[in-house]
Amino acid sequence: MSMKNQLMRGWFSELSPMWPGVALSLKVEEHLHSCRSKFQQIDIFKTESCGNMLVLDGIIQATEMDEFSYQEMLSHIPLCCHPNPEKVLVIGGGDGGILREVARHDCVKSIDICEIDDEVISCAKKYLPFMACGFEDPRVSVNIADGSEFIKDNQGNYDVIIVDSSDPIGPGEALFQTSFYAGMKTALAPQGVIATQAESFFLHGKIVSNLIRDCRSLFKHAHYAFIFVPTYPGGSIGTCVASDSQDPRHPIRNLPVKVLQRLRYYNTQAHEGAFMLPENARRLFS
């Protein structure tokens, strides 16, 4: 799908074969950036109602208006399920939003990010500073590499692994393979926890059910949590959180009040409530 077809009369429409017959349209004030990296088409728009917006291969990744929903839940759920997370790996997440949230945990001593496309990082730093500020933390080490290969060289190394992937088409496809989940398990230290972007159960039931099935074959605990994000297809997305030692549905650490006061989505009630699924989702995993 060409960008020309997605930009009409000052509106950007998100069109994808993953959700045929459905489109989200946002009014655009300015097309700030457009380039083709080695891996994907990258576009940054200034929208009328949602601020700056990152689009990869025609698919909305984040908008200034609601990115906090996804970033906070994908980060704080797994981190609050670990008794003392010191070493964290972020796979994907080149916009920096997950790094920003992980850095709020004082117990974390090192944060590795493995992003395959350095152009995404460059664009985020220029146009999405509200997320790219995550790169400024001194605990962050940037690795430009394929995440599925990176974990092979880091066995037993991480307390928490967070996968902020795009959809399972293009460069994000490898991050939805069973072998990748198995590789993440071997990269975890004892008591380790993973959290991975897990799509929408409304729109991608088969993808979600396969993902949960694969994780349950590898981990003692594997559960799906949903997150409200207005500018994602269907208005929500999910994360699969898995561990051999921790049940991710119940946090074992509480964030300090000074941190909670700076958040806009995550709290203990939102953490536990995200795992309370409607019946159509529950049946996918039974």
Alpha carbons within 13 A on the beta-carbon side of 97: 28
Contacts 24+ apart (CB under 8 A), 202-210: 202/234, 202/236, 202/280, 203/18, 203/19, 203/22, 203/233, 203/234, 204/18, 205/284, 207/168, 207/176, 208/238, 208/281, 208/284, 209/284, 209/285
**What are 71-95's pLDDT values in tens digits?**
999 999 999 999 999 999 999 999 9
> Nearest to residue 262, comparing CAs of 71, 107, 54?
71
- Please state, as a whole number, how many other Cβ atoms lie within 10 Å of the Cβ of residue 166: 21
Length of the chain: 286
pTM: predicted TM-score of the whole model, two decimal places: 0.94
End-to-end CA distance of the chain: 36
pLDDT at residue 170 tops 60: no
- How far apart are the C-alpha atoms of 141 and 276, rounded to whole Å? 35
- 13 forms beta bridges with 25
* Mean pLDDT taken over the chain: 93
CA–CA dist 31, 270 (Å, integer)? 35
- What CA–CA distances, in Å, run from 286 to 9, 40, 95, 244, 248? 46, 36, 35, 19, 17
Tell me, what's the pLDDT at 285? 82
Q: Alpha-carbon distance 53 to 66, whole Å?
A: 10
Reference 94, options 159, 35, 153, 164; nearest CA is 164
Amino acid, single-letter form, for residue 223: H
Full set of structural domains in the chain with CATH: 3-63 (2.30.140.10), 67-285 (3.40.50.150)
Hey, which residues are catalytic here? 164
Looking at residue 1, what is its pLDDT? 52
pLDDT per position as a tens digit, 177-189: 788 899 999 999 9
